[in-house]
Structure 1
Amino acid sequence: MRVTLNATKTRTALRISARVSLDILLVLLMTAAGLWILGWMWPVIWPLVIGLLLATLTWPMTRFLRRHGWRPALAASTVTVTFLLGSMGTIALIAVPVAAQADELTQGVIDGITRLREWAAGPPLNISNDQVSAALDTAVARVQNSIGDILSATVTGVGAVANGLITAVLALFLMFFFLKDGPRFLPWLTRQLPGRLADDVPTVASRCWETLASFVRSQAFVGLLDAVFIGLGLWIVGVPLVLPLSVLTFVAAFVPIVGALFAGFVAVLIALVSNGPTDALIVLAIIVVVQQLEGNVFQPMLQSRSLGLHAAVVLLAVTLGGTLAGITGSLVAVPLAAMIGVVWSYIREQLSDPEPEPATTTDAA
């Protein structure tokens, strides 16, 4: 009897395990299909994501204008044009001082290469000019042999730049429409959905919007911290172009990983060609310290507070997003994780049992 009972329990457990495994396989299959559809539609989704991020960044100004009697189209147009002019002004703020000191920087590069060759000619390397010339000839020969790969890479790069410009233009137009018609979206969505979905979906969408706005604000604050601390370090060391480098650091903070590396590389390069290798190493140390504090302390703390996520979840989300989709994945990983948390929190609220109402007693007459 006991053997039969154990066999029945075993078969039941195996049957339940098989059913759960089948459900998991179906979920994984649907997830893979959804990711494939997402990748196929990515040329449209990516401008939509950028436009949404820009709209969350510029919505407070639009809301201020609308509350003071501006019509939606006029307020959205004004904010969009202001944002475009501000972006162009930021580029000019970086490019004009660099162009003004181009001769000085060029001479600094030449002097730096000369000092490097003089240092390499002495002990312990003892590299002669003939060896340097031979190495340059070898490099030129390799470049000539790889001219086809270089041309194809150049064509690919030109195509990527063209796609980037198209994406930027589409994102700018989408930002305008989000700012103009955004407040009418949730009422329209409520009218289109049946039954309980008319309440649930707009509520979740509104919470996701607030979460996305919190992410953009926290990211801007983190970029401001980077720009202030790194700019202060550059000013103390005496590196030229402090203001353009600080602005570049702030803008680059919105592009995870690669943005910080690019801004740091530019700062170290300018310090090397203008002040020498010692100051360049000091600048490198400053950038490494600030970036480590930003990536491991400030950003997880700020985003965990503003998004309701633990700091470890933020770090894991950025790592997973970068592994799966590179820079794009790193950019959208944290807000996506936060919105998943919003959806899960709402579902948990709806599935939880309502609190019992306190019992009321009536005094006998």
Structure 2
Amino acid sequence: MRIPVQRQLIWWGIAGILLLVTMWLLGSAILPFILGAGVAYLLDPVADRLERMGLSRTMSVVVITAAAVLVFALALLLVVPLLVRQASQLIATAPEMLDGLRSFLASQFPNLMPEDSTINVAITRVSSAIGERAGEVISTVMGSVAGVFGVIALFVIVPVVAFYLLLDWDRMVAHIDTLLPREHAPTLRRLAHEVDEALSGFLRGQGLVILILGTWYSFMLMLVGLPFGFFIGIMAAVLSFIPYVGVLVGGATAIGVALFSFWGDPLWIGAVVAIFAIGQVVEGNYLQPKIVGESIGLHPVWLLLALSVFGTLFGFVGLVIAVPLAAALGVLVRFLTQRYRESSLYTGQGAPAEPAEPMRVELVPRGTVEASRQDAATSPSSADIA
């Protein structure tokens, strides 16, 4: 007996709610496993390529793990300390920069910047707040990062989970395929394929764009001698996954530091402006269209909404799973929209009636029925025989 679709939706809805409640209750306890699964998902194509080159699955995973550990160690030893140091220095120098901005505006526009003006008071308050809370902000950020990830989760659980999941990824996917409801398996496979295309296109493509932009911004800003150039370049590149936000925030910060550091030398200020202008032109005309693509299904507004909602509901775990869930929900919304346009609710026409039960007709040679009637008429009845 076939289970109605409505009842199936109820059961699957209950299962989804239980999964969300479990994630909310467990919180950071499942974060290392989510991160490990994400790492395995991102590296699975690399393992598949190494397998096509002749390596076994185990050897492919060992090679990938060794390379990942080496890159992570270099980043931890060389990049992270420089980022933390420059971020701390930038926060500590910010009050002095704001005081310089206030003095400049007061000297150039005395009518607009009296002592009790709104702009003057606001700049003074922001400068004082940054100066008082600079150390507190840095210690809070570092403490929260240490608390969220944890030394054990970072250095033990995540790599181990990623290693074993990457080793059994193909078998795990095949096993999950066998557990799909048979009636809806083709549709679920198609939706999963679309989610994979959207998610992999965004994560791998945007990751490569961030790497290219981060290298360009940080190297060029350091080359022109801009203080905190490495941190500003990395910050602008990381924020570039939101169109125009990276270049606006990073560019404004870089130009502000350049004005403070290179005042009276417009050549270097123009060089900083040119670096961000070139980066924006290359990103908009080549990197985003060629690498990320225009049809991955993750609109920036949709992504920001997902980050805000899931971050509020599940904290840092929500931020980690926001992008995959945004991709899945985007594909599901497009699928439901397509079904809606095919339904009678959209077209205004009722669904065709169910066909009637077919009538069974037995075909016999011509004259068979007439012969049966004659035999019945001529044959003696049971009453005559009695």
TM-score range, shorter chain: 0.5 to 0.7
Is the 2:236–2:250 Cα contact (8 Å) retained in structure 1? yes
Please tell me the residue identity of whatever aligns with 1:168: L
For the structure 1 residues 321 and 62, does the alpha-carbon distance in structure 2 shift closer, same or farther, using more than 3 Å as the test?
same
Which of 294, 306, 314 aligns to 1:305? It is 294
**1:65-118 deviation per Cα after TM superposition (whole angstroms, max 9, x unaligned):** 2223323233213212311211222344436778999xxx89x96xx78x959x
In structure 2, the residue corresponding to 1:69 is in which secondary structure?
coil
% identical equivalent positions: 23
Shift of 1:217: 1.9
CA contact (8 A) 2:58 2:167 kept: yes
Written as runs of structure 1 = structure 2, the 5 A alignment for 1:89-238 is: 89-94=74-79, 158=143, 160-165=145-150, 166-169=152-155, 170-193=157-180, 195-197=182-184, 199-227=186-214, 230-231=217-218, 234=221, 237-238=224-225
- Decide whether the 8 Å contact of 2:239 with 2:246 is kept in 1: yes
From 310, 314, 329, the equivalent of 1:340 is: 329
Cα distance between partner residues in 1 of 2:53 and 2:214: 33
Does 2:39 align with 1:50?
no
What is the rounded CA distance, in whole Å, between the counterparts of 1:210 and 1:330 in structure 2?
20
- Any gaps of 5 or more consecutive residues in structure 2? 1-11, 116-123, 344-386
Q: Could you tell me how far apart the structure 1 residues matched to 2:85 and 2:34 are?
A: 36
Whether the aligned pair in 1 keeps the contact of 2:222 and 2:230 (CA below 8 Å) is no
Which amino acid in the other structure matches residue 40 of structure 2? A
Q: Deviations over 1:158-209 (max 9, x none)?
A: 3541322355343333322232111111221233445335555455444433
For residues 230-256 of structure 1, give each alpha carbon's deviation from its aligned partner in whole angstroms, at most 9, with x where no partner exists.
347626744368677656655665799
**Aligned length in residues:** 304
Asked if structure 2 preserves the Cα contact closer than 8 Å seen for 1:94 and 1:248, the reply is: no
Cα deviation, 1:51-76, whole Å, max 9, x if unaligned, reads: 34333432332222222332323321
Q: Which amino acid aligns with 1:68?
A: M
Q: Say if 1:256 and 1:331, in contact at 8 Å, map to a contact too.
A: no
Q: Does 1:39 align with 2:28?
A: no
Is the 1:255–1:331 Cα contact (8 Å) retained in structure 2? Answer: no
Alpha-carbon distance between aligned partners in 1 of 2:83 and 2:142, rounded to the nearest angstrom: 24
Determine which structure has the larger helix proportion and give its number: 1
Q: Does 1:323 align with 2:312?
A: no
Amino acid at match of 1:339: A
2:176 is paired with a residue whose SS is: helix
How far, CA to CA, are the matches of 1:177 and 1:58 in structure 2?
12
Query: Greater Rg, structure 1 or structure 2?
Result: 2
Q: Distance in 2 between matches of 1:155 and 1:295?
A: 36
The answer as to 2:52 corresponding to 1:71 is no
Counterparts of 1:319 and 1:297 in 2: how far apart (Å)? 23
Within 5 Å, give how 1:228-307 maps onto structure 2. 230-231=217-218, 234=221, 237-239=224-226, 246=233, 250=237, 271=258, 275=262, 283=272, 305-307=294-296
The whole-number CA distance in structure 1 between the counterparts of 2:330 and 2:231 is: 38
In structure 1, the residue matched to 2:45 is: 60
For 1:190 and 1:99, the matched residues in 2 are separated by 45
Q: Deviations over 1:287-324 (max 9, x none)?
A: 599679969997699756251x2xxx612212312432
Distance 1:266 1:126, change over 3 A: closer
Match of 1:7 in 2: none
Structure 1 partner of 2:299:
314
